[in-house]
Structure 1
Amino acid sequence: MSTPNFAVSAIALAVLQAMSGAARAEAVAPAAAPDQTMPEVVVSGVKVRASSASVAGFSNAPLLETPASVSVLNAQQMLDLQIRSTTDAAKFDASLSDAYNAVGYAEQFSIRGFKLDNASSYRKDGMAIAGDTQIPLENKEQLEVLKGLSGLQSGVSAPGGVINFVTKRPTDTPLRTVVLETRERGTLYGAVDLGGRFEDSRFGYRINAAAERLRSYIKGADGNRKFVSAAFDWRISPQALLQVDADYQRKSQITAPGYQLLNNATLPNVPADQLLNDQPWTRPVETTSSNVGVRFDYKFSPDWAATISANQHNFKRDDYTAFPYGCGAQDLYPGFCGNGDYDVYNYISKGEKKSPLTAQALLQGRFATGALQHELTAGASFFKNSEKWGDYLYDYSGTSNIYRPVVVTPAPGDSGPVTERRSDNERGLFAQDILSLNQQLKLHAGARYAQVKRDEYVGVDAGKVLPYAHTDVGFWLPNLALVYNVRPNVATYVSYAQGLEHGGVAPMGTANQRRALEPGKSKQVEVGVKADIRPDLSASVSLFQIRKGLEYTDAANTFVRNGEAQNRGLEMALAGRVTPELLVGVSATALNTQQSGTGSATLDGKRVTDVAAFKSSLYAKYAVPQVRGLDVAANWVYSSKKAFDAANTVFVPSYHVMNLSASYATRIGDVATTLRANVDNAFDKFYWRDVTPDLGGYLMPGASRTFRVSAQFDL
């Protein structure tokens, strides 16, 4: 069956499955329906904003009481905003930016100017997963972003923060939701969300499935995606709860590489929808990913509880690209020729695999010592990961042109046998005590000890595999914070934290390519103010400084850590309902980045590449009082200019992007229905969305104007 037919069939099956599920629910519980009259229009009464998150600690905690900068999108918000990917979600958080986020490849981001680590910065229910593909949102209840160091909570992770995806769990009442969407270039999307409890109400279920035919804004970067997940729980007793979940995704899409500078000096003038990977022999990047998670909660008493959780993630990728790099005619690497010519390479890397396993045990309780109240968390964590790949093919195949594309013959060959090239093992012990010094003042004091082991493939000499590079080091990661409640609804905090990250991996083409640097520590200080202005309206301001070792490719073409990177910033946010009709979301980040201590005039004192000094996102939704059920909304994103190269000789311009939308809630028969329409980039603005320094430096244009419509059916 062809991919388009499969996608359409899957959407149809999703609708039929949801409808049959609703019919079965009525058959099981007929007494619940006859006495209820259905209003003509249903306006959802769900929370307009999330008020708690687990990403900044070891349990779900109110955001007001959390001494960290955290943003959260819940499942209802993702439905309302038509968020289908983390890339869509990033439009609403100014601290979250693209970082080599190529269409059809892995979604990759930076927070507070630091690129996230694909091996440790993306989490599912607090457990590390590989961030090397689009992480599905269909089975996610919340998308949580912790900004800043997370050494206490997560152990190894990039200093910018972590993104945590919270899994949907069984519902106490029957849930039957179907979403259908289409976009102007031919994208088709269908998803179903089923939840409830079995006849024996101790057992619950949550089923999610989705199919998508992908037609990108870049012509030819097409593909498809299929996803399915299931989550179950067993209420063993009032004290004991067992949760199990599993998911599987397969995605196939032609990837869209970016542009390099003309003469390695000037920005090219190109359309946003052009595909440089457009050759007859181009093949889609194939990725599969899966998770199996388990969690057991036990309450010893109202004040003491224990949790044991684990997650096994598996990732596989076959990577194919007609890759653009350099200009052989001018001996220019990187950079395209002045006339638009560029070299085309046949890149193949098949069988790449990652299999991170994470486990954690927690003991949490409350007690008093004299006048001091304690909230104690103590636990242990375990993480291991195996990474496998073969020697890739990367051979010159010919020359094409960005203005006049040329068909070239692919260089022959294939990637080599897959073997384990890197293995990681991390063990941690941690504890945190939240002491209530009085009714207004709390001290958060915690630390984690992380033992980090790594074995890494070095290479072959005279036909023999060299001994693997071995790392075995331990780190203490302290975390201290004071929280002072000026009023019951206003809190201030000051915090100090240390973090730990795996060393960066040397990029392709460097003398030590694919080798990872030793782990490195980072330090952060932060002060902030949070206020729950009303139950449905909150505001926050935070000021921070993060310092870490600077990683870059030196004059000898070797990837090294030397000198220091310092990011100082101010973050502001406002979210919630301003009036009964007006809902707003405001996010703004001002960031000063500075590099020092390298001894290189091209780096010291320069701004970090691909980081805007100021970025903002404003969202407003207005419920039209004259038409019940009708909402209109707008989202305005602004980014100031960004440096393309480390020497700051080339900057990409600032940009504004306006997104418009409308939704209408009504009933079709007995089915609650929400119709939505969006115009993304309404004024069709051309802009450079991503200015990555990876692989010699690439520019990626943002999406041109895109229309989309969707329908949500709650059966």
Structure 2
Amino acid sequence: MNTPRFAVSAIALAVLHAFPGVAVAASSAAEQAMPEVVITGAKAQASRAAVAGFSNAPLLETPASVSVLTSQQMLDLQIRSTTDAARYDASIGDSYNAVGYSEQFSIRGFKLDNASSYRKDGMAIPADTQIPLENKERLEVLKGLSGLQAGVSAPGGIVNYVTKRPTDTPLRTVVLEERERGTLYGAVDLGGRFEDQRFGYRFNAAGERLRSYIKGADGNRKFVSAAFDWKISPQALLQVDADYQKKSQVTAPGFQLLNNTTLPNIPADTMLNNQPWSRPVETTSSNIGARFEYKFTPDWSTTVSANQHQFKRDDYTAFPGGCTAQGLYSGFCGNGDYDVYDYVSLGEKKSPLTVQALVQGKFSTGSFKHEFTGGASLFKNSEKWGDYLYTQAGTDGHAFSNIYHPIMVAPNGGTSKPVSERRSDNERALFAQDILSINEQLKLHAGARFVQVKRDEFVDATLPFAHTNVGFWLPNVALVYSLRPNVSVYTSYAQGLEHGGVAPIGTENTGRALAPGKSKQVEVGVKADIHPDLSASVAMFEIRKGLEYTDGQNYFVRNGQAQHRGLEMALNGRASRDLTVGVSAMALNSQQRDTGSAELDGKRVADVPAFKSTVYANYAVPQVAGLSISANWIYSGKKAFDKANQVFVPSYHVMNLGGAYATRIGGVQTTLRASIDNAFDKFYWRDVTPELGGYLMPGASRTFRVSAQFDL
């Protein structure tokens, strides 16, 4: 029996037995000549977020560029992964986001740190596998430095996944979906309160059979979660949650340049990891979280939060890279040949623990009003792995295949070495922020975080043991001025901190992490609530950080600066009763400087377009109640393939189309959706990473999908 198909079927059958109304709906649909239509009045956009501070604050008053997707928007847009969500924000790009591996992104042109840039309820979690969205109420993105809010994180920003909590009224939602090429998906969302109303629950489960647009990159995913709350008293609230996911999928490596100079011309579904001995990448991940809130008075409260994450991965790949026949370490042969490497890394583990305590309150000093937050946090992480196998396949130590005509080769036959702890982190922080209302229109946001960063690292016997123990101050100051009750302008200055990048395979210091590095940002912006359900924002920024790259001696180093200057614009919400819009655009001048190398200085950062935009529109057809049609157009300018800007990949346009019909069938509120991704079947290079010698990853070809949502 096919396990993923069974998982989806089991979800559907369980729902039919638990809620017989669905079964009735299926049998009586044909008998209904005039179905009852349900019109919902849900807001078209979120107006608050927690990612830019320490509380759930109005976006209009937040001195930062923030975007939010709600769980309802994720349902409406058929978003099943962060990759799906990213196409609605022009500031987010792929960054070695290989199908079947971990989802990896950049914001404002800076690659996010898998260990620190992704958060669950503000707690750091690794993004080394697909982060499940089934139990997420919102997906929040803070663009730019987050030193005050998060401490250690990449300068591009952070992605925060807000967990779904128990509902006050019963919630019963089922989603079933099928995509072209055979992907099947089923999910259940159950919420409510027990007989004792002090206790609430939220359960989510999902099963997915994965059939990628790349031939052979198939797999399956299973997910389950639970969240509970206990209203101990009017002043005290305890929340706990847990989730577990297991994913198995064959990964799809990218392509290199032919002769290290020319873009290959291949179909988007071409698979390079197609040896008979290729195996899926196996990952398991879990979270256990808790949050306790106590309100001393209406104005003062304390909150203690914690999250323990566990991650394990077994990685197998027939990895393409280089051309020995032409003496190329990176780059395929001119005729499409490439060396095949046997890569195995078993038992990789990470176990980050985050704990945070806050005290928040309001008070006045004379005519000034204060909103104060003070707190402390602890982050501990242990990373374990064994020396991986990375050798050329074949019994003679040299084997090759071809991108146009695959050649089957023998595996190396080895495996990775025993697992042991190789890196441990211990970060302790104290932070404080005061939002000072100088008058009715002007607010000063001033805060700072002190982070003590400790890291112990052992890579292998050829490199000495490394120890880091250093403290950093990270200030953040901003002014927010309300021109009108619905219009604000802000200016801000911030400093951030990130762990140094890890030297990639093939460098002289492979596996060694660089020391932590600081970054700086200046930003100005304007925000407006055009009406209660339509908002607009414009932000200009400059970010500077140390440039990391592989130098002429083949060492991975930090030298010079990466300077990113940009302009972001967004418009989101309901433009009229029937029309919902989402517009996002970013113009970015990314430049490498002060390296002392003419080959790098003044050149654009790789994999970052100078301009990117995405436009979404949904129109509720007034002549047919319950019917809506939608379109999403994405444009990306050309991107540099390499740091020396010798090769660029072309710009591209992608059009996605969709439609939905909301009705009642047998008394069950039902929403049927259909969509066509990449409707005109355009070939494009969506990801152009300079990592590991440089790889290109094609975007998905045209894909049809249909789904049904039942709200009981």
TM-score when scaled to structure 1? 0.96
Indicate the residue corresponding to 1:27 in structure 2.
Answer: none
Indicate the residue corresponding to 2:403 in structure 1.
Answer: 402
Indicate the residue corresponding to 1:193 in structure 2.
Answer: 189
Indicate the residue corresponding to 1:584 in structure 2.
Answer: 581
> For the residues of structure 1 that align with 2:6 and 2:507, how far apart are their CA atoms?
42
The structure 2 residue matched to 1:701, chosen from 684, 698, 704, is 698
SS at match of 2:63: coil
The answer to whether structure 1 residue 668 and structure 2 residue 669 are counterparts is no
Indicate the residue corresponding to 1:33 in structure 2.
Answer: none
Cα distance, 1:45 vs structure 2? 1.5
* CA contact 1:209–1:229 (8 Å) conserved in 2: yes
Indicate the residue corresponding to 1:386 in structure 2.
Answer: 382
- Note the alpha carbon deviations across 1:384-439, whole angstroms, 9 max, x for none: 10000001111111110001110000111100000000000000000000000000
Structure 1 residues 172-181 or 506-515, which shifts more?
506-515
> Structure 1 residues 469, 14: closer, same or farther in 2, change over 3 A?
farther
Cα distance, 1:15 vs structure 2? 2.5
> For the residues of structure 1 that align with 2:235 and 2:21, how far apart are their CA atoms?
31
Q: Would you say how many aligned residue pairs link Structure 1 and Structure 2?
A: 697
Indicate the residue corresponding to 2:204 in structure 1.
Answer: 208
The answer to whether structure 1 residue 533 and structure 2 residue 530 are counterparts is yes
- Note the alpha carbon deviations across 1:33-79, whole angstroms, 9 max, x for none: xxxxx992112221110000000000100000000000000000000
> For the residues of structure 2 that align with 1:663 and 1:371, how far apart are their CA atoms?
53
Indicate the residue corresponding to 1:635 in structure 2.
Answer: 632
SS at match of 2:137: strand
**Following superposition of structure 1 onto structure 2, how do residues 437-448 of structure 1 map, counting pairs within 5 Å?**
437-448=438-449
> For the residues of structure 1 that align with 2:643 and 2:410, how far apart are their CA atoms?
34
Give the residue type in structure 1 aligned to 2:434. Answer: D
* CA contact 1:285–1:318 (8 Å) conserved in 2: yes
Cα distance, 1:12 vs structure 2? 2.6
The structure 1 residue matched to 2:101, chosen from 102, 105, 110, is 105
Q: CA RMSD in A?
A: 1.3
> For the residues of structure 1 that align with 2:530 and 2:2, how far apart are their CA atoms?
53
Cα distance, 1:17 vs structure 2? 6.2
Cα distance, 1:526 vs structure 2? 0.1
SS at match of 2:86: helix
- Note the alpha carbon deviations across 1:63-122, whole angstroms, 9 max, x for none: 000000000000000000000000000110000000000000000000000000000000
Give the residue type in structure 1 aligned to 2:423. Answer: R
* CA contact 1:482–1:494 (8 Å) conserved in 2: yes
Give the residue type in structure 2 aligned to 1:412. Answer: G
- Note the alpha carbon deviations across 1:295-316, whole angstroms, 9 max, x for none: 0000000000000000000110
Cα distance, 1:514 vs structure 2? 1.1
The structure 1 residue matched to 2:610, chosen from 605, 608, 613, is 613
The answer to whether structure 1 residue 497 and structure 2 residue 498 are counterparts is no
Cα distance, 1:579 vs structure 2? 1.0
Cα distance, 1:4 vs structure 2? 4.1
Indicate the residue corresponding to 2:298 in structure 1.
Answer: 302
Indicate the residue corresponding to 1:232 in structure 2.
Answer: 228
Can you give the 5+ residue segments of structure 2 that lack an aligned partner in the other structure?
24-33, 394-398
SS at match of 1:460: coil
The structure 1 residue matched to 2:475, chosen from 475, 478, 491, is 478
* CA contact 1:11–1:189 (8 Å) conserved in 2: no
SS at match of 2:87: helix
SS at match of 2:60: helix
Q: Which runs of 4+ in 1 moved over 4 A?
A: 20-23
**Following superposition of structure 1 onto structure 2, how do residues 315-330 of structure 1 map, counting pairs within 5 Å?**
315-330=311-326
Indicate the residue corresponding to 1:596 in structure 2.
Answer: 593
The answer to whether structure 1 residue 269 and structure 2 residue 269 are counterparts is no
**Following superposition of structure 1 onto structure 2, how do residues 110-509 of structure 1 map, counting pairs within 5 Å?**
110-397=106-393, 398-460=399-461, 468-509=465-506
SS at match of 1:153: helix
Indicate the residue corresponding to 1:7 in structure 2.
Answer: 7
Cα distance, 1:18 vs structure 2? 5.3
Structure 1 residues 43-52 or 604-613, which shifts more?
43-52
Cα distance, 1:609 vs structure 2? 0.2
Give the residue type in structure 2 aligned to 1:136. Answer: P
* CA contact 2:21–2:668 (8 Å) conserved in 1: no
The answer to whether structure 1 residue 57 and structure 2 residue 53 are counterparts is yes
- Note the alpha carbon deviations across 1:272-301, whole angstroms, 9 max, x for none: 001100111110000000000000000000
* CA contact 2:426–2:455 (8 Å) conserved in 1: yes
> Structure 1 residues 39, 62: closer, same or farther in 2, change over 3 A?
farther
> For the residues of structure 2 that align with 1:229 and 1:539, how far apart are their CA atoms?
35
> For the residues of structure 2 that align with 1:560 and 1:224, how far apart are their CA atoms?
38
Cα distance, 1:11 vs structure 2? 3.3
> Structure 1 residues 410, 66: closer, same or farther in 2, change over 3 A?
same
Give the residue type in structure 1 aligned to 2:657. Answer: L
* CA contact 1:171–1:195 (8 Å) conserved in 2: yes
Give the residue type in structure 1 aligned to 2:81. Answer: S
> For the residues of structure 2 that align with 1:656 and 1:511, how far apart are their CA atoms?
40
SS at match of 2:133: coil
Indicate the residue corresponding to 1:30 in structure 2.
Answer: none
Cα distance, 1:601 vs structure 2? 1.2
> For the residues of structure 2 that align with 1:389 and 1:194, how far apart are their CA atoms?
38
* CA contact 1:492–1:529 (8 Å) conserved in 2: yes
- Note the alpha carbon deviations across 1:248-295, whole angstroms, 9 max, x for none: 000000000000000000000000001100111110000000000000
Give the residue type in structure 2 aligned to 1:426. Answer: E
> Structure 1 residues 455, 82: closer, same or farther in 2, change over 3 A?
same
> For the residues of structure 2 that align with 1:507 and 1:489, how far apart are their CA atoms?
48
> For the residues of structure 1 that align with 2:391 and 2:44, how far apart are their CA atoms?
52
Give the residue type in structure 2 aligned to 1:198. Answer: F
Cα distance, 1:14 vs structure 2? 4.7
Give the residue type in structure 1 aligned to 2:247. Answer: K
> For the residues of structure 1 that align with 2:681 and 2:144, how far apart are their CA atoms?
34
Cα distance, 1:602 vs structure 2? 1.2
> For the residues of structure 2 that align with 1:583 and 1:107, how far apart are their CA atoms?
28
* CA contact 1:440–1:484 (8 Å) conserved in 2: yes
SS at match of 1:87: helix
Cα distance, 1:8 vs structure 2? 3.6
Structure 1 residues 111-120 or 593-602, which shifts more?
593-602
Give the residue type in structure 1 aligned to 2:616. Answer: Y
> For the residues of structure 1 that align with 2:667 and 2:299, how far apart are their CA atoms?
45
* CA contact 2:193–2:199 (8 Å) conserved in 1: yes
Cα distance, 1:125 vs structure 2? 0.1
The answer to whether structure 1 residue 515 and structure 2 residue 512 are counterparts is yes
Cα distance, 1:22 vs structure 2? 9.7
- Note the alpha carbon deviations across 1:313-363, whole angstroms, 9 max, x for none: 011000000000000110111000000000001100000001100000000
* CA contact 2:609–2:637 (8 Å) conserved in 1: yes
TM-score when scaled to structure 2? 0.97
Structure 1 residues 42-51 or 304-313, which shifts more?
42-51
